[in-house]
Amino acid sequence: MSSSLTPEQPQNRQPHAWYLVQCKPRQDERAEENLLRQGYTCYRPRHSRERLLRGQKQLVEESLFPGYLFIQLSQLDNWAPLRSTRGVSRVVGFGNQPLAVSPELIERLQQRCSAPTPSPLLESGDKVRLNNGPFAELEAIFLSMDGNERVVLLMNILHREQKVRVPLSSIQKAE
């Protein structure tokens, strides 16, 4: 595995392109911080999710792609400091040629990751509103989490209270 990736000057490359950087294990945040300090444009997609920490549910922000981040570079930029940046392992590529990432992919990631979180922290008994699916716009009562991605709700269906399991992303706290 060579860490001496150096871009060549093909005519079909854009002046600034996005590249994938592999970080050292559990050092994504450190690599991003150090690259930003050096003046590079970086993007580390993140998402929020509810986790059980020390017996309590907390909303934590995690890397969408643990161990990787994107960096925007020009063919004319000095790539040498990347190799010695703390937290950075290498620029991903084939042979000695770094592989550019489609700008459309970066745009889609930025749009999806900047979208509001699906729901705030919920406690048993909170009123929620479903925002899609067959029960869209109906209200329910949050009972509990069912794994990491699903919730158990209590809904009034046909004049009876029923337990329903739905994806966490399909509810929001009612106001």
What is the per-residue pLDDT for 1? 46
Residue (of 45, 42, 34) closest to 81 by Cα position: 34
With a CB cutoff of 8 Å and minimum separation 6, the contacts of 45 are 63, 64, 65, 70, 109, 110, 113
In the β-sheet with 139-146, what is the strand arrangement from edge to edge?
160-167, 150-157, 139-146, 127-130, 171-173
pLDDT (tens digit per residue) in 82-112: 989 999 999 999 988 899 999 999 999 998 8
Rounded mean pLDDT, 23-44: 95
CATH architecture of the domain 16-114 equals: 2-Layer Sandwich (3.30)
- What's the one-letter identity of residue 146? D
Whether residue 11 is predicted with pLDDT greater than 60 in this model: the reply is no
pTM of the model: 0.60
Residue (of 31, 66, 26) closest to 46 by Cα position: 66
d(CA 78, CA 128): 52
d(CA 135, CA 127): 14
pLDDT band at 77; cut points 50, 70, 90: confident
Q: Which of 9-13, 86-90, 145-149 has the highest mean pLDDT?
A: 86-90
CATH architecture of the domain 127-173 equals: Roll (2.30)
Instruction: Locate all alpha helices (DSSP H) within 84-153, ordered by sequence.
Output: 103-114
Rounded mean pLDDT, 59-86: 91
- Which H/E stretch holds residue 100? strand 100-101
> Which has more pLDDT, 65 or 8?
65
> Which has more pLDDT, 119 or 125?
125
d(CA 21, CA 30): 13
pLDDT band at 2; cut points 50, 70, 90: very low
What is the per-residue pLDDT for 3? 47
> In the chain, what are the domain boundaries?
16-114, 127-173
Rounded mean pLDDT, 121-132: 88
Q: Do domains 16-114 and 127-173 have the same CATH topology?
A: no
Residue 168 DSSP label? G
Whether residue 12 is predicted with pLDDT greater than 60 in this model: the reply is no
Longest alpha-carbon distance in the chain: 70
